[in-house]
Amino acid sequence: MIPCATDLQLAGVKFKKIKKSNNILNVKFRHGVLEITPFKIHYYSEALFRNLVAFEQCYPGADTYFTTYLMFMDFLLKTSKDVALLHHNGIIDNYYHGSDDDVANLFNRLCTGAFHTFEGSYLSDLHDNVQKHCENKWNMWRASLKRDYFTNPWSVISFIAALFLLLLTFTQTFFTVFPYYGPRS
């Protein structure tokens, strides 16, 4: 399973909208950036999405592109915080006349009862790459450092200055001690 959007953000994943795409199913993951085509949620979106999933589940020759996409969005949007994060990044526009919690609930109940797996789907490589990124501890540590300690440029500048002063202190100590313990001439 793919973690929700806020958990992905804690693992260092950034969200970005795809600017020029007419395909709502277009999702990419490269170098820690999850790119998603922006879309709007209207009052009729639930009926439309349910009918598309029902068609893909009932018609024997149909590919399951929409079911795959909606299950992916179901994994991403577990809570209102996840919806707010994607809205903040310009991916979701809510014209649903409800709260972010209503949008999260909409995606959480869309694929109820649908049979589907990511294996062999058009998002299977993306699913594997996101999983690998989240399992890498270095990505989580780096994201935590950026989020907790390096939130503004002054903290970065002060860290670099502290490292420079520490290097100068070690250099001074070395040149002070070396003549005493160094080779005798």
- For the stretch 121-170, pLDDT in tens is 888 899 899 989 888 888 888 877 777 788 888 888 998 999 999 999 99
**Dist CA 82 CA 107 (whole Å):** 11
Which pTM value belongs to this model? 0.78
Tell me the domain boundaries of the chain.
5-142, 152-181
Residue 182 has pLDDT above 80, yes or no: no
**Dist CA 79 CA 5 (whole Å):** 9
Q: Give the mean model confidence (pLDDT) for residues 36-50.
A: 92
- What is the chain's mean pLDDT, rounded? 88
Percent of the chain with pLDDT over 90: 48
Spatial contact of 115 and 54, defined as CB atoms under 8 Å apart: no
Give pLDDT, residue 185: 62
Give pLDDT, residue 21: 84
Give pLDDT, residue 49: 93
Lowest mean pLDDT among 18-22, 102-106, 110-114: 110-114
Cα separation values, 29 from 13, 19, 26, 44, 128, Å: 9, 15, 10, 29, 10
DSSP H/E element including 71: helix 65-76
Tokens 């100068």, located at residue: 168
Tokens 């797996």, located at residue: 117
